[in-house]
């Protein structure tokens, strides 16, 4: 699965990527709800072992500069074709605008379609117009209206 382009590699995350992912997620959600390092490591181990879940990373000489999570979900409609969700998309601020996120997202959607998924869905903050342009340029369309319900204590994001 690794894809090498212009000095960076797109690959699946491994246990060794924990610190780099945490640094990227700090840029995604700057005021995230805190969790202990032990809980975060345990959760990351669970993610890596979860069937149908893949965390893609863009790696430049051992430094993670972008990531996204792909979740493939079994489905009883559409001829039992699974569907996919993409979540936690972020490129380090110092590396944006260089095409890294585009290659990473293309790798994730390719993996979904190669797994037989009939669609790939994602949500983006309603006010995040830069992200909307990015996703539309990749071929995503605003063909549906997204809804979410947050558990008490988890702030909404725009």
Asked if 134 and 97 count as a contact pair (C-beta separation under 8 A), the reply is no
CB under 8 Å to 18, separation ≥6 — which residues?
A: 40, 41, 44
Give tens-digit pLDDT for 104-134: 999 999 999 999 999 999 999 888 999 999 9
pLDDT at 142: 93
For 24, other C-beta atoms within 10 Å of its C-beta total: 22
Average pLDDT (129-158) is: 88
For 110, other C-beta atoms within 10 Å of its C-beta total: 13
Give tens-digit pLDDT for 98-109: 999 999 999 999
What is d(CA 17, CA 143) in angstroms, rounded to the nearest whole number? 35
pLDDT at 95 over 70: yes
The DSSP output letter for 135 is H
Give tens-digit pLDDT for 35-94: 999 999 999 999 999 999 999 999 999 999 999 999 999 999 999 999 999 999 999 999
pLDDT at 30 over 90: no
């Amino acid at each position: 699965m690794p894809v090498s382009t212009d000095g960076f590699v797109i690959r699946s995350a491994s246990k060794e990527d924990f610190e780099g992912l945490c640094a990227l997620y700090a840029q995604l959600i700057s005021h995230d709800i805190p969790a202990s390092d032990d809980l975060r490591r345990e959760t990351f181990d669970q993610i890596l072992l979860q069937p149908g879940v893949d965390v893609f990373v863009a790696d430049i000489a051992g430094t993670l500069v972008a990531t996204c999570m792909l979740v493939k979900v079994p489905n009883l409609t559409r001829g039992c074709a699974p569907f996919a969700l993409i979540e936690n998309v972020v490129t380090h601020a110092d590396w944006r605008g260089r095409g890294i996120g585009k290659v990473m997202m293309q790798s994730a959607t390719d993996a979904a379609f190669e797994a037989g998924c009939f669609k790939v869905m994602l949500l983006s903050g309603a006010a995040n117009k830069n992200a909307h342009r990015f996703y539309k340029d990749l071929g995503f369309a605003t063909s549906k209206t997204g809804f979410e319900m947050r558990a008490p204590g988890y702030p909404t994001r725009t």
